[in-house]
Amino acid sequence: MQNFEIFPVKGVNEYMSYFVKMYSKICYPRFNSGAKGLRSAQIGAIHAIAAHSTLNKKEAAIIVMPTGSGKTAVLMMAPFVLAKKKVLVVTPSVMVRGQIYEDYKNLSTLKYIGVLNKEAPAPNVYELKNKYSDDQHESIVQADVVVGTPQVSLSLSENPDSLLFDYIVVDEAHHVPAETWQNILLNIRHAEVLLVTATPFRLDKKEIKGDHIYSYPLSMAYKDGIFGEITYIPIEEAPEKDRLIAIEAERVLLNDRSQKFDHYLMVRTDTKEKSKNLELIYQTHTSLRLKRIDSSTTYNTIKQTITSLKAKEIDGIICVNMLGEGFDFPNLKVAAIHEAHKSLASTLQFIGRFARTNTSNIGSAKFIAILNRLKKDGNFQQEDFHHS
Q: Do 12-222 and 228-387 have matching folds? A: yes
Q: What is the band of 237 on the pLDDT scale with cuts at 50, 70, 90? A: confident
Identify the DSSP state of 160: G
Cβ neighbours for 299, distance < 8 A, ≥ 6 positions apart? 94, 95, 97, 98, 99
Q: What is the Cα–Cα distance from 176 to 253, expressed in whole angstroms?
A: 37
User: In the prediction, which pLDDT does 388 show?
Assistant: 43
Question: Looking at residues 364-369, what average pLDDT do you find?
Answer: 87
pLDDT greater than 80 at residue 278: yes
Burial of 108 (0-12, 13-18, 19+ CB in 10 A): middle
> In sequence order, which ranges of the chain are alpha helices (DSSP H)?
12-15, 18-22, 40-55, 71-81, 94-106, 108-112, 137-142, 150-157, 179-187, 218-223, 241-258, 272-285, 299-310, 344-355, 371-378
Q: How confident is the prediction for the chain on average, in pLDDT?
A: 84
Phi, psi of 175 (to 5 degrees): -85, -10
3-state class (DSSP) for residue 30: strand
pLDDT greater than 90 at residue 283: yes
Strand 192-197 versus strand 290-293 pairing type:
unpaired
pLDDT greater than 60 at residue 373: no
45, β-bridge pairs: none
User: In the prediction, which pLDDT does 343 show?
Assistant: 58
Residue ranges covered by each domain of the chain? 12-222, 228-387
User: For the whole prediction, is pTM greater than 0.75?
Assistant: yes
Q: What is the Cα–Cα distance from 21 to 148, expressed in whole angstroms?
A: 24
Q: What is the Cα–Cα distance from 248 to 234, expressed in whole angstroms?
A: 10
Contact 200, 212 (CB under 8 A): yes
Identify the DSSP state of 384: G
Q: What is the Cα–Cα distance from 126 to 25, expressed in whole angstroms?
A: 23
Q: Dihedral, CA atoms, 290, 197, 80, 108, nearest 10 degrees?
A: 10
Q: What is the Cα–Cα distance from 212 to 208, expressed in whole angstroms?
A: 9
Contact 328, 278 (CB under 8 A): no
Question: Looking at residues 147-159, what average pLDDT do you find?
Answer: 94
Give 34 or 8, the one with higher predicted confidence.
34
User: In the prediction, which pLDDT does 159 show?
Assistant: 94
Distances (CA, A) of 96 to 99, 127, 171, 318, 323: 5, 11, 9, 18, 10
Question: Looking at residues 323-343, what average pLDDT do you find?
Answer: 74
Distances (CA, A) of 86 to 42, 80, 381, 385: 22, 11, 46, 44
| CATH classification code of 228-387 | 3.40.50.300
Of residues 66, 362, 356, 354, the one with CA closest to residue 233: 354
Q: What is the Cα–Cα distance from 137 to 19, expressed in whole angstroms?
A: 21
Topology annotation, domain 12-222:
Rossmann fold (3.40.50)
Phi, psi of 240 (to 5 degrees): -105, 45
Give the whole-number percent of the chain exceeding pLDDT 90: 54
Query: What are the tens digits of pLDDT across the range 83-103?
Result: 999 999 999 888 788 889 999
User: In the prediction, which pLDDT does 229 show?
Assistant: 74
- Which among 71-80, 173-182, 201-210, 262-271 has the top mean pLDDT? 71-80
